[in-house]
Structure 1
Amino acid sequence: MDIRSVMTPNPATCQAETPVRDVARLMLENDIGLVPVIDAQGRAIGTVTDRDIVVRLVAEGRDPQQCVARDCMTQPVTTVSVDGSLSDATEVMESRQIRRLLVVDGDGRLCGVIAQADIALSGRDRKTAELLRGVSEPKH
């Protein structure tokens, strides 16, 4: 099974200067918890999660109404090639303990997002169990 078969293609995105209010609106409208941040050429440069907004802005007392994606985005991004295997993606997710991974083409342009849930829904029970354990296991 390849990455294309389970990824969400053409995800909702924002740019570094997109107001956080608009990023949150994208999350609400698309029922997502992560918005990739792209540059003018469509290359992935960061991500903003709902948790990023809460931990990096709200918890620090910053006004989200006055902030842009750059103020709370995670960078550098962790990506996987669109031509890679699902096994490649799960290995990266497990080793970095992340639940979502950006999928890029050879030029670094965003193609999609693959989430832990996408792998779970692909019906690969053993691989799903390994991924859940690998991502959720505390690092010592």
Structure 2
Amino acid sequence: MKIQNIMTRPVGFCQSDTNLAAVATMMCDKDCGIIPLVDSKQKLVSVITDRDICLAVASKHKKAEDMTAGEVKSGPVFTCKPDDDVKKALGIMREKKVRRLPVVDPKGKLVGIVSLNDFALVAEEKRSNAPTAAEILNTLKSICEHRSVAIAA
């Protein structure tokens, strides 16, 4: 099974100069926790997550409308291609500890997004070549594992 068979499209996106209040509104409207940032040719530049917005507002003591997506974007960005096998994408998610992957064409243009939800839905439908529930659970366990944090002495 290929990513193109399960990915979400069209996907909402913004540019680096979009203010965080507008990004948060888009997340609410699209019922998602990530918005890809693209350039003027819709090539993927980065992503911004709901967590990025919360941390920026809390730590910078500025209003969301006074900060831009480009100021608080996540990085690095991990992606997959529409013709990638779903198990390859699940492996990237497990290794990189991410819940979602933007889907880009060979030129880097954003064409969709795939999330753990998409994998869970196809596993529940028991489609052929879909990841098993155990594979999805192992990916989720890996993603949720606490990362070691260096503490300054």
Where on the TM-score scale, by shorter chain, does this alignment land: which range?
Answer: over 0.9
Q: Secondary structure at the match of 1:9?
A: coil
Note if contact 1:36-1:47 (Cα within 8 Å) is conserved in structure 2: yes
**What does residue range 1-140 of structure 1 map to in structure 2 within 5 Å?**
1-123=1-123, 124-139=132-147
| Farther-moved stretch of structure 1 (87-96 vs 63-72) | 63-72
TM-score (norm 1): 0.93
Q: Secondary structure at the match of 1:98?
A: coil
Note if contact 2:102-2:114 (Cα within 8 Å) is conserved in structure 1: yes
Cα distance in 1 for residues equivalent to 2:5 and 2:111: 12
Query: What one-letter code is carried by the residue in structure 2 that aligns with 1:127?
Result: E
Which structure is higher in strand share? 1
Specify the alignment match of 2:129 in structure 1: none
What's the RMSD between the two structures over aligned residues?
1.4
Note if contact 1:14-1:23 (Cα within 8 Å) is conserved in structure 2: yes
Note if contact 1:45-1:76 (Cα within 8 Å) is conserved in structure 2: no
Cα distance in 1 for residues equivalent to 2:53 and 2:134: 34
Cα distance in 1 for residues equivalent to 2:122 and 2:21: 33
Give 1 or 2 for the bigger CA radius of gyration.
Answer: 2
Note if contact 2:22-2:65 (Cα within 8 Å) is conserved in structure 1: no
Cα distance in 1 for residues equivalent to 2:49 and 2:147: 22
User: For each residue in 1:50-109, what CA deviation from the matched residue of structure 2 results, as whole angstroms up to 9, or x when unmatched?
Assistant: 110011233331221211110111133111111211111011100011101111000000
Runs of 4+, deviation exceeding 3 Å: none
Q: Any unmatched runs of 5+ in structure 1? A: none
Shift of 1:125: 1.5
Cα distance in 1 for residues equivalent to 2:27 and 2:146: 28
Cα distance in 2 for residues equivalent to 1:14 and 1:4: 22
Q: Any unmatched runs of 5+ in structure 2? A: 124-131, 149-153
